[in-house]
Amino acid sequence: MDFVEKIKPEHLDILKEVGNIGAGHAATALSRLLNKTIDMNVPAVKVVSFSEVHDLLGGNDAVVAAIFLKIEGDVPGNMFFMLPVNEASKLIQQLTGDTSIDFMDSSTSEIGISALTETGNILAGSYLSALSDFTSLQLLPTPPALAIDMPMAIISYGLIEISQAGDFAILIDTEINEIEVNDSTRTTGHFFLLPDPDSFEKLFKSLGVNVND
């Protein structure tokens, strides 16, 4: 039987908690990097068919910067940290002090790209290490890769592995926000965790829940 058919509301709640722990630590990391208050939303866990992924991400014309890490170890899967491209530019301008950085310009400095990749790596890394500590599972991220493109084109890459085994993906989506006094430069980032189909049982087991009950 497909795993998706066995999944119950309480399982989704556990996955929400997974998103909570991970993104909570990542938000703290970002807060330290920027020396600003970072807020996070209650994670959303969605079971979606591939043809619905598009509606979920929305905004055909939106361009995002995404840092992608493949997770190896006990719970293989894919991890993305995604934010709108103009916000990525602002974030890195703040971090580097170089206001000429613009990721929509393909000739933007190597330093900017490198800083963005590393920031994504730090955030995704703190998400995963928090999760690893909590579950006592080994999560080994690959070196980060960066893409600036359409959200669908990027996320679909992480769905390939999953698509070989089934027709649904479980997406753990957590949003973090920078709280600004004047609301003009709000940064909104999304963490997407896409465990491979075989990973869920291990993840649940590590948290003391049996899927076959």
Partner 1 sequence: MTNVIKVGMADLNYAIPPDKIRTSGLGSCVGIIIYDDTVKICGLAHIMLPDSSQCRSKAVQRSKYADTAIADLLSYLIKNGAKPSRLKAKIAGGAQMFKFSSTNEIMRIGPRNVEAVKKFLKENNIKILSEDVGGSSGRTIEFDPLTTILNIRTVNKGVKDI
Q: How far is the CB of 138 from partner 1 (least distance, A)?
A: 19
- Residue 50 or 134: the one with the smaller Cβ distance to partner 1 is 50
Q: How far is the CB of 114 from partner 1 (least distance, A)?
A: 14
Q: How far is the CB of 49 from partner 1 (least distance, A)?
A: 8
Q: How far is the CB of 124 from partner 1 (least distance, A)?
A: 14
At residue 200, the 3 state secondary structure works out as helix
Tokens 């909590």 map to which residue?
Answer: 134
How far is Cα 36 from Cα 200, in angstroms, rounded to an integer? 35
Q: How far is the CB of 105 from partner 1 (least distance, A)?
A: 10
Burial, 105: exposed, middle or buried (Cβ in 10 Å; 0-12, 13-18, 19+)? exposed
Q: How far is the CB of 110 from partner 1 (least distance, A)?
A: 14
- Residue 133 or 149: the one with the smaller Cβ distance to partner 1 is 149
Could you tell me which residues come within 8 angstroms of residue 70 by beta carbon, excluding any fewer than 6 positions away?
76, 77, 78, 79, 141, 142
Binding residues for partner 1, per CB under 8 A?
A: 2, 49-55, 57, 60, 63, 68, 106, 142, 145-154, 156-157, 159-161, 163-167
- Residue 33 or 63: the one with the smaller Cβ distance to partner 1 is 63
Q: List phi, psi (to 5°) of 203.
A: -60, -45
- Residue 116 or 154: the one with the smaller Cβ distance to partner 1 is 154
How far, rounded to the nearest angstrom, does the alpha carbon of residue 145 sit from its chain's CA centroid? 13
How far is Cα 65 from Cα 126, in angstroms, rounded to an integer? 19
- Residue 34 or 63: the one with the smaller Cβ distance to partner 1 is 63
Nearest to 25 by CA among 212, 179, 159, 174: 174
- DSSP annotation of 43 reads P
- Residue 44 or 53: the one with the smaller Cβ distance to partner 1 is 53
